[in-house]
Chain A
Amino acid sequence: MSNRDITVEELANTEYKYGFVSDVEEEKIPKGLDENVVRLISEKKHEPGWMLEWRLKAYRHWITMKEPHWSNVKYSPIDYQDIIYYAAPKKKPKLNDLNEADPDLLQAFEKLGIPLAEQKRLAGVAVDAVFDSVSVATTFKEKLSELGIVFCSISEAIQNYPDLVRKYLGSVVPYTDNFFASLNSAVFSDGSFAFVPKGVRCPMELSTYFRINASETGQFERTLIVAEEGAYVSYLEGCTAPIRDTNQLHAAVVELVALDNAEIKYSTVQNWYPGDKNGKGGIYNFVTKRGACRGVNSKISWTQVETGSAITWKYPSCLLIGDNSVGEFYSVAMTNNLQQADTGTKMIHMGKNTKSTIISKGISAGRSNNSYRGQVKIARKAENARNYSQCDSLLIGDKCGAHTFPYLETNNPTAQVEHEATTSKIGADQIFYLNQRGISTEDAVRLIVNGYCKEVFKQLPMEFAVEATRLLSMSLEGSVG
């Protein structure tokens, strides 16, 4: 009906809300990458020798590697010499004294809904704010330290907790792991570090908010979270970037370590700039996320809601080493216009009685392509391992694609592995049915999509679930014809 088309047309023109650029004075190094650049980054951060050595080893390994092309995404070649590897606001607050920060910087975060000033801070959430290459502030740091919890930028951690960093950095994702992880290891500029000591339940959500601001820069952050014996922590990650018509590279690494009886819950709402309707611009998101359940009865749970980026290449994984350890992956990946996502998980069962659950919900609209890629591997010694996987795809319109690539390797006959997959479409008849009950087309699509994502959204902390629902609605706009 013509009436409907007009509404959809109007909605399609809704802009990416976080596309503004902040006028923050920044220090940038020249474009390009070689050993000197790696040294320069390390020097700017006043790093100890061991850190520089590690970076250089990573760099030397990286130059021997080739960019991988096995994923189901297409893009023109990335020129790694045409990227700025370090950009930082000149007036960075010292020791978290926000009075000394560039007011434009504070305003930028305020505009993103992440107030950093003491009196306005989000209740119950400690935030580490990362702006381009560096962490600019961490809230509630003192309060957390009373419990022995360390939550700070990785740069500070390298200075103040070198033993912890040396022990765990690269222990889950070694610098040789893959092309993008090696690049990250060589040039990472900041990120978050969280350490929850033995027996402590972290009383608030820890959160990092990543913001790319500068043009032509890449963002390479490194996050490391360690939960000691019996510890618990829930961690949230959010991200946005300005609208630019060139592509920007984001290659992050996240490592999680859970010791005996520890639990880490890691939630992401990823909303990097996805590019415009014609596929111009947008973030290339090549991320390595992996958690190691090292201890007995440990648990790592990944929940992700992916709505942004021009390209998403991301497989948050669990190494289930400890006996009875549990790995979970809950994912909603939404692509619209010309976005491409190749995302999924790896569950590697090594310990006895290990259990993993995979719930993946892909939503494709416009001319986008959405792939689920997941691996379940049961090692020879993993007695009684269990996996349940469910991969659903929802198609909106008839120009998009959904693909599922499950890989299964079982080396122990006691394993129980279940895999279910469905593909469905939002039908015109479903929309008309809701219309006939007085519900508008946009609300009808929201209801249907939220219904479809329910299993994943209920895993998110409350505020995040609301945010995720809202984000999804935003990404859906203009997707129904």
Chain B
Amino acid sequence: MLEIKNLHASVEGKEILKGIDLTVNIGEVHAIMGPNGSGKSTLANILAGKPEYSVTEGEVMYEGKDLLAMKPEIRAREGVFLAFQYPVELPGVNNTTFLRTALNESRKYHSQPEVGAGAFLSLLKKKMHLVEMPDTLLSRSVNEGFSGGEKKRNEILQMAVLEPRLAILDETDSGLDIDALRIVANGVNKLKSRDNATIVVTHYQRLLNYIVPDYVHVLYDGRIVKSGGKDLALELEERGYEWVKQEEIAK
């Protein structure tokens, strides 16, 4: 589904990613871990097409297509979803209108009929159960005045509505208390299927107690320096990132 080859990228002239290789198949869950500043969020944002980042080398194929050649909105309509680490506030933009616009943009792109206001509301009600979201958040402006936990739940609600093929969760656990973490992780787990794939970007192992990965990759200084099964996350938790750093220096 996703094939990243020798990806190099920089921000404001500074090279952050220094040759990433990663293959994600359909139905898989990959966790990307690493210390602060290793390039985890950069990788997530580059896959989504954030303009400030520039790719200097390498390629990314998604479902057989050149992902890097697509505009961000096309990537989204093609099924790439990024759950933001810091969801953005949109004052005055109604949350429901926003969600319906997003869904219909994707449906139009796939030549499907648009969903009317009534039908959309009943769809939304169902999806809201997944993230235990109160109705009151729907009539509010997107993320405006939401608590940290509400913002993250709103991200997962959007994911539930848009049903992406490839979901990238960027530090979704940051700033969540243990109850919110459980709710968000449950939502993600329920959306997981054999027809989609998930990349979980996280600093801590604790999220991976809830969302169990098939593969764990450790990112350090812009490269994947270690890959393994879910046990690698536990080992990291125990030995700390220093372990990886020392090994790298020894090389």
Task: Check: A435 CB closer than 8 A to any chain B CB.
Answer: yes
Other than the given A428-B52, A430-B90, A436-B72, 16 more pairs (CB < 8 A) read A1-B49, A433-B87, A433-B88, A436-B73, A436-B81, A436-B84, A437-B98, A438-B73, A438-B77, A438-B109, A443-B101, A447-B90, A447-B101, A450-B92, A452-B91, A455-B92
Q: In residues 76-108 of chain B, which contact A (Cβ within 8 Å)? A: 76-77, 81-82, 84, 87-88, 90-94, 97-98, 101-102, 105-106
Q: Which residues does chain B contribute within 8 Å of A451, judged by CB atoms?
A: 90-94, 141
Counting from the closest, the 3 A-B pairs by CB-CB distance are A451-B92, A451-B93, A435-B72
0/1 interface trace, chain A 86-100, chain B, CB 8 Å (1 if under): 000000000000000
- From B52, B77, B91, B102, name the one whose CB has the most chain A CB atoms within 10 angstroms: B91
Q: Which residues does chain A contribute within 8 Å of B101, judged by CB atoms?
A: 439, 443, 447
Q: How far does the alpha carbon of A60 sit from the alpha carbon of B84 in the complex, in Å?
A: 67
Task: Check: A3 CB closer than 8 A to any chain B CB.
Answer: yes
B-to-A contact residues, CB < 8 Å: 48-52, 71-73, 75-77, 81-82, 84, 87-88, 90-94, 97-98, 101-102, 105-106, 109, 141, 158, 162
Q: How far does the alpha carbon of A437 sit from the alpha carbon of B77 in the complex, in Å?
A: 8
Q: How far is the CB of B12 from chain A (nearest CB, A)?
A: 14
Measured CB to CB, the nearest residue on chain B to A394 is: B91
Q: Which residues does chain A contribute within 8 Å of B92, judged by CB atoms?
A: 448, 450-455
Pair A439/B51 contact, Cβ less than 8 Å:
no
- Contact partner of A448 among B77, B81, B87, B90, CB < 8 A? B90
Pair A437/B51 contact, Cβ less than 8 Å:
no
Given A429-B88, A435-B76, A438-B76, A1 and B93 touching (CB < 8 A)?
A: no
Q: How far is the CB of B126 from chain A (nearest CB, A)?
A: 19
- From A427, A428, A441, A447, name the one whose CB has the most chain B CB atoms within 10 angstroms: A447
A-to-B contact residues, CB < 8 Å: 1, 3-4, 424, 427-430, 432-441, 443, 447-448, 450-455
Q: How far does the alpha carbon of A447 sit from the alpha carbon of B97 in the complex, in Å?
A: 9
- Contact partner of B102 among A4, A427, A438, CB < 8 A? A438
- Contact partner of A435 among B71, B81, B93, CB < 8 A? B71
Measured CB to CB, the nearest residue on chain B to A1 is: B51
CB pairs A–B below 8 angstroms (14 shown): A1-B71, A428-B51, A430-B90, A435-B49, A435-B73, A436-B48, A436-B82, A437-B105, A438-B73, A438-B109, A439-B105, A441-B73, A447-B93, A452-B92
- Contact partner of B88 among A424, A427, A453, CB < 8 A? A427
- Contact partner of B84 among A424, A433, A447, A450, CB < 8 A? A433
Q: How far is the CB of A267 from chain B (nearest CB, A)?
A: 20
Q: Which residues does chain A contribute within 8 Å of B50, judged by CB atoms?
A: 432
